[in-house]
Structure 1
Amino acid sequence: MHGLILSRLPLENPPELTRKEKALRAAFIDVLEAQSTDLPFPNLINSIYGKKGYQPMLVQKFFSDQQLQMLSDYLDKAVAHGLDPEQFYVTGLKYQLDEVIHQKSSDTVRIQRGLAKLELAVVNSLIRYSMAMQYGVTNPAKIYSHYATPTLIPDSNSVIRIFEIVNLKIYLDSIQPKGKTYLALQKVLKRLDADTTENKDSVKIIMRQKVVVNMERLRWKNKPAEQKFVSVNIADFSLDVMDKEKSVLHMKVCVGEPGDKQTPQLGSIIHSVQINPVWNIPQSIARNEISRYASDDRYYLSNNNIKVFKKGKPVRDPEAIDWSAIDVREYSFQQQPGVKNSLGKIKFLFKNGSSIYLHDTPVRSVFKRGMRAISHGCVRVEKPLDLAFALFGKGERYDQLKRGMESSYPRAKFMGLPRPVPVRLFYYTAWLNDRGGVRFGQDIYGLDQLVYDEMQKKQF
């Protein structure tokens, strides 16, 4: 390495620089300005180098013991993560590294320009790779129209940490995803890529894409910080109560139909339940279903314990109304607690912008179906009492809840959880089964292609 160029320059706006130091500084600034449009967070990077006198920082630390060659090796292995190494500009990094290694000029300014190009190639590749491993290469909030899950994205601190790395290999190893599902998907991807058949069949192509997409989903930082949370996999029609990364309760669920009734991906906090809930029927359901049923059967409303209101006032004789001839928007409908209530005997409440909640159902046969995307958007749970026990725990409050659900005279009652529990509604089309193998599910909402297409674009 060229010790003359890599000797540290004065920091933080030195009062005077020698002519040579000014020339070296100007060379670095010139290269930085020329390449700024290709860099992530260019203004922040410029600020960092400005505070250090516009001189190479990472090359100083990592060149002598061949850590930069090792970095290019890690980038080449990005294929093991379902990513194209060129997303991290690996070819450009190798070229600039080779240029510096074989530099024969004695012109210090020219040498400085070469070092600056290598420095920025390292910064560019390392930041992009680091962010990809820790956050994914896409932002789900920009991909999905139904996504309200708190998800961390790279920020200025992510960039600053890059310049604080001491040992590059230790750092690169530390950011590799290590979850069980992720590692299992990596093994599947390796087997698929090892198939050298020129004309791979469409099934394998789709499978590989599904693996790549779900690895990306697993890189998103959207899981709660708490050790215990409720996890719903919409595409698997399943719910798990997770505690210390292990499922302590598993059950089937029903989710929203494809289209405008699909269950959104979201994250929130379950704060309370309503025992023997009252169902305030959404206007869309009232207009498209309830009024039609009432039109066909004049006793449908009373038989299903549904009260009718007009401008907030009870309607005493809804059977007398010709529901096929009136404007349903003037009415509201409320199903009272009881065995026919569509929400069953309990619903689990959490704040969200889509009026989504978890709830019981009086129709138990639906859980025998394989395809359970059948609801209006909310999530019907197979074992509501077990879920309540997992959230409340053993004690008088749970016993009170159970007695309320079992009562022959159901009355609606709210109960707050002893401790609020996070809930996440995810969408994974590949997951681990009970034996630790990978299972592939149906892409019920057609979301895999959206993620895959976005992954092909340059990010950051």
Structure 2
Amino acid sequence: MFNIDHPLKLPFLREVAIVMMTCILFCLSCTVKRTATPTPLVRLNKIEPPILKKHAEKMDVAAEFKKVFEASHLTFTYPEQIDSFYKRNEFQPVLVSRFMPDNQLRTLEDYLGNANVHGIDPEVFSVSRIKKLLDNYNDKDSRRKEWEVYQDAMELELVIADAMIKYSNALQFGITDPARVYINYSSPTLRPDSMSIIQVFEVRNIKTYLDSIQPKDKQYLALQKALKSEKESDSIYRTLMVNLERLRWKNKPTADKYVLVNIPEFMLSVIDSGKVVLRMKVCVGEKEVNKETPQLSSMIYSVQVNPVWNIPQSIASNEIITYAKRNRYYFANNDINVYRNGKLVGDPEAIDWQSEETGSYSFKQQPGEQNPLGRIKFLFNNESSVYLHDTPTQSPFKQSIRAVSHGCVRVEQPLNLAYALFGKGPKFDQIKKAMANGYPRAKYIGLPLQVPVCITYYTAWADKKGVVHFYKDIYGLDDVLYKQVSFPFSQLY
């Protein structure tokens, strides 16, 4: 397309003309007169080989570029951010002119084409479209009209911008928003903001940048390795795929010490400085409306030794009052105080629960051996009013599937958990003594330093040797997530 032998008097102009063999569109763009505007985010190099000036005179490149953008506007995941960037740069193309001479766009194509190593369909990033546009652009024997080449280059610029943003955000934040995927989810989760979206326009070396955003977490790398070797089972592939997505979410504790509960594994771990210092079995909520244990993150701030159980209204209505209808001494036998409109009822046996309107009643079970919270509960703020707690019933810990609670998490070794949180000292001694007291009284003991707790849902998890273990999807959340990550990227936000 270029005549390299065109007479150029200065050597540096000859070099510029050679560069422009792969940058036709951007030669034109530099002839557009710039107005006095604030310094743009990206400084563009002016390239003005005389051979193309005659074409520039016939064409308003910025205007044509804007037309291509507006035609593609609705197909982009982040049209506002892309539009804002190019407006600030007077609709001058950036990425193709920067990366085409070094063949970096083929590197980008390779990375996008291998997105399946992350459990992501490469077509989420329009890789086929990018390949076709790159092939067309680099086809030296093509007899297409010059304007068709320009138009392809304009479209390539925008498709690359959109794909780089999506790939960057996918690896750093995940391709879904878990708060939109799950109803019972309340873990604070970082999502892409404007700065993270436009950072791709600052990239100078594609390979260096894409390597830098590859997740480095050991769990992620172990699941990636398992995904790569999985060739037989679609169900295992899908399980690895959705758990890689969960690992990309920015919802992980950053403190040195934290408590991690994995619902499908029915296990609790205390992690300190990257090492598991305590592991124990737990029981979680049944798969039933209002009984599933939620995914959440919070801070354990206190324990209540010999706790009082404020019986939730749903349990009171569905269970407690039913027992009272069968046995009027049920409340006395189980150390349950009855309150009407907040006032203690002195003689609950006199209440006819068969005919009484129960909505004005509330119930509190006092500390003791029959209290389902056992000898201690671990408190943290959350919207679902759940907590970690002891239990007088130990038999469920012998079961492999331990989804038996009303939503709270029952812990197998509560005293060991208290020691892991408080450490050696007078507060732990106080807890130990109070739990052993034959005449228990409820007592709050605050943690000197709050400890994060993260209740998660992973159906694939690697042990310290990198061996991946799989767990039953007890709440059916893998299927919910798989449907979301299988959709085109643009439909997920």
TM-score normalised by structure 2 residue count: 0.86
> 1:66: which partner in 2?
103
> 1:94: which partner in 2?
131
Cα distance in 2 for partners of 1:303, 1:360 equals: 21
Structure number, greater radius of gyration: 2
Q: Does 1:285 align with 2:315?
A: yes
> 2:16: which partner in 1?
none
Deviation per residue, 1:154-180 (Å, 9 max, x gap): 221122111111211111111112222
* Structure-to-structure mapping, 1:208-223, within 5 angstroms: 208-223=237-252
Gaps of 5+ in 2: 1-18, 38-45, 47-52
SS at match of 1:69: helix
Quote the offset at 1:10 in angstroms: 8.2
SS at match of 1:419: strand
> 2:234: which partner in 1?
205
> 2:10: which partner in 1?
none
Q: Is the 8 A contact 2:32 2:61 kept in 1?
A: no
* Structure-to-structure mapping, 1:418-433, within 5 angstroms: 418-433=448-463
Cα distance in 2 for partners of 1:364, 1:160 equals: 54
Quote the offset at 1:315 in angstroms: 1.7
Q: Is the 8 A contact 2:78 2:162 kept in 1?
A: no
> 1:156: which partner in 2?
194
Counterpart AA for 2:26: L
Q: Which 10-residue stretch deviates more, 367-376 or 396-405?
A: 396-405
Counterpart AA for 2:121: D
Q: Is the 8 A contact 2:263 2:456 kept in 1?
A: yes
Q: Is the 8 A contact 1:12 1:52 kept in 2?
A: no
Cα distance in 1 for partners of 2:280, 2:64 equals: 63
Q: Is the 8 A contact 2:25 2:154 kept in 1?
A: no
SS at match of 1:329: coil
Cα distance in 1 for partners of 2:277, 2:188 equals: 24
Counterpart AA for 1:100: Y
Quote the offset at 1:419 in angstroms: 1.2
Q: Which 10-residue stretch deviates more, 106-115 or 362-371?
A: 106-115
- Cα distance 1:123–1:21, how it changes in 2: closer, same or farther (>3 A)? farther
Quote the offset at 1:63 in angstroms: 1.3
> 1:297: which partner in 2?
327
Counterpart AA for 2:190: L
Deviation per residue, 1:305-339 (Å, 9 max, x gap): 11111222222222233333323323211111122
* Structure-to-structure mapping, 1:306-325, within 5 angstroms: 306-325=336-355
Cα distance in 2 for partners of 1:59, 1:182 equals: 32
Q: Is the 8 A contact 1:11 1:52 kept in 2?
A: no
Quote the offset at 1:366 in angstroms: 1.8
* Structure-to-structure mapping, 1:4-403, within 5 angstroms: 5-6=25-26, 9=30, 14=35, 20=57, 23-102=60-139, 111-193=149-231, 195=232, 204-260=233-289, 261-403=291-433
Q: Which 10-residue stretch deviates more, 429-438 or 389-398?
A: 429-438
Alignment partner of 1:451 out of 468, 481, 485: 481
Cα distance in 1 for partners of 2:74, 2:273 equals: 43
Counterpart AA for 2:328: R
Quote the offset at 1:399 in angstroms: 1.7
Quote the offset at 1:13 in angstroms: 5.1
SS at match of 1:319: helix
Q: Is the 8 A contact 2:259 2:453 kept in 1?
A: yes
SS at match of 1:150: coil
Counterpart AA for 2:230: L
Counterpart AA for 1:101: N
SS at match of 2:255: coil
Counterpart AA for 2:30: L
Counterpart AA for 2:467: G
SS at match of 1:356: coil
Counterpart AA for 1:424: C
- The root-mean-square deviation of aligned C-alpha atoms, in Å, is 2.4
Cα distance in 2 for partners of 1:398, 1:423 equals: 19
SS at match of 2:296: strand
Cα distance in 2 for partners of 1:44, 1:190 equals: 34
> 1:201: which partner in 2?
none
Quote the offset at 1:111 in angstroms: 4.6
Q: Which 10-residue stretch deviates more, 128-137 or 175-184?
A: 175-184
Quote the offset at 1:436 in angstroms: 3.0
Counterpart AA for 1:276: N
Q: Which 10-residue stretch deviates more, 88-97 or 236-245?
A: 236-245
Gaps of 5+ in 1: 196-203
Counterpart AA for 1:39: F
- Cα distance 1:359–1:205, how it changes in 2: closer, same or farther (>3 A)? same
SS at match of 2:431: helix
Counterpart AA for 1:429: T
Cα distance in 1 for partners of 2:273, 2:384 equals: 29
Cα distance in 1 for partners of 2:358, 2:30 equals: 77
Deviation per residue, 1:280-315 (Å, 9 max, x gap): 111111111112222333332222211111222222
Counterpart AA for 2:378: F
Quote the offset at 1:455 in angstroms: 1.1
- Cα distance 1:333–1:150, how it changes in 2: closer, same or farther (>3 A)? same
Identical positions, percent: 50
Cα distance in 1 for partners of 2:441, 2:462 equals: 41
Q: Is the 8 A contact 2:32 2:62 kept in 1?
A: no
